Amino acid sequence: MKTRTIILAVAAMLLGLASLSGCSGNGTTDAPSFNDVLTSRRSIRSYDATKTISEAEVRTLLTKTQEAPSWANQQPSKYYVAISPEAVAAVQDMVGGNKERIKNAPVLIVSTFEKGKSGFFRGQQTNDLGDYWGAYDNGLSNAYLVLTARAMGFDTLIMGMRDADTIRNYFHIPGEEMITAVIALGYRAEEPKSPVHRELEEIARFF
């Protein structure tokens, strides 16, 4: 009886480990590995018009961005989500030449950061970068966004071409927030080509 109890306990433990690792009963992996996420994430410029993304899924995605590090945990990043057809259509007119590339993306997310937080202490700039730290933190948050999106099966395009004034008016974005980018969210309509990366020796020096 004791032996049977031990066997059942070990079996339960193994099942628990399998579920944590994302393995299903048929031996396949449900969730992509971190390396798969890194290597399959691409800037997508053609989206599948037949697929949608729910508000609940976007909320899950944005919740994960809150795990990103920021200066003194200031968390300066903010997001404004265009998810209704009317809002998406409106924002499509605010991204310049990218409009045609993202016309079938079901969600468009405006990324901003609050100025005067990251890079400041008691209201005083702490070094020569100042609000560039806010942009840095926002970039980290956006990196979490696009990587989490890929892990969830979505695709993205970060767009720097945007009509900031029109976006600010449309979403009623406060003046103390800097608008950085508009991020398209959807499903790729085709497989993109892998870009050529620079050699490591060109970007890193070891001392």
Is residue 12 predicted with pLDDT exceeding 80?
Answer: no
Non-local (6+) Cβ contacts of 182 within 8 A are: 91, 94, 95, 108, 109, 110, 111, 158, 159, 162, 167
Lowest mean per-residue pLDDT among 26-30, 76-80, 171-175: 26-30
Write down the mean pLDDT value for the chain: 89
HSE-CB at 173 with a 13 A cutoff on CA atoms is 24
* Alpha-carbon span 108 to 81, nearest angstrom: 6
Residue 68 above 50 pLDDT? yes
Kindly state the DSSP code that residue 192 receives in the 8-state scheme: P
Between CA 97 and CA 182 the distance in angstroms is 13
- Mean pLDDT, residues 176-203 taken together: 96
pLDDT tens readout for residues 16-32: 433 333 433 333 447 89
* Distance of alpha carbon 186 from alpha carbon 104, whole angstroms: 8
DSSP state of 110: E
Question: pLDDT confidence of 197, banded at 50, 70, 90?
Answer: very high
Assigned CATH topology for domain 32-191: NADH Oxidase (3.40.109)
3-class secondary-structure state, position 79 = strand
Cα–Cα dist 200/60, whole Å: 35
Q: What is the pLDDT of residues 32-50, one digit of tens each?
A: 999 999 999 999 999 999 9
Mean pLDDT for 55-77 is: 98
Place of tokens 């053609």: 46
Residue 9 confidence (pLDDT): 41
Q: Identify which of 158, 156, 146 has the alpha carbon closest to the alpha carbon of residue 186.
A: 156
Work out the percent of the chain whose per-residue pLDDT is above 70. Answer: 86
How far is Cα 112 from Cα 118, in angstroms, rounded to an integer? 13
**132-153 tens-digit pLDDT:** 999 999 999 999 999 999 999 9
pLDDT of residue 31: 84
pLDDT at 30: 73
pLDDT on residue 44:
97
pLDDT at 182: 98
- Band of residue 5 on the pLDDT scale cut at 50, 70, 90: very low
Average pLDDT, stretch 96-101?
96
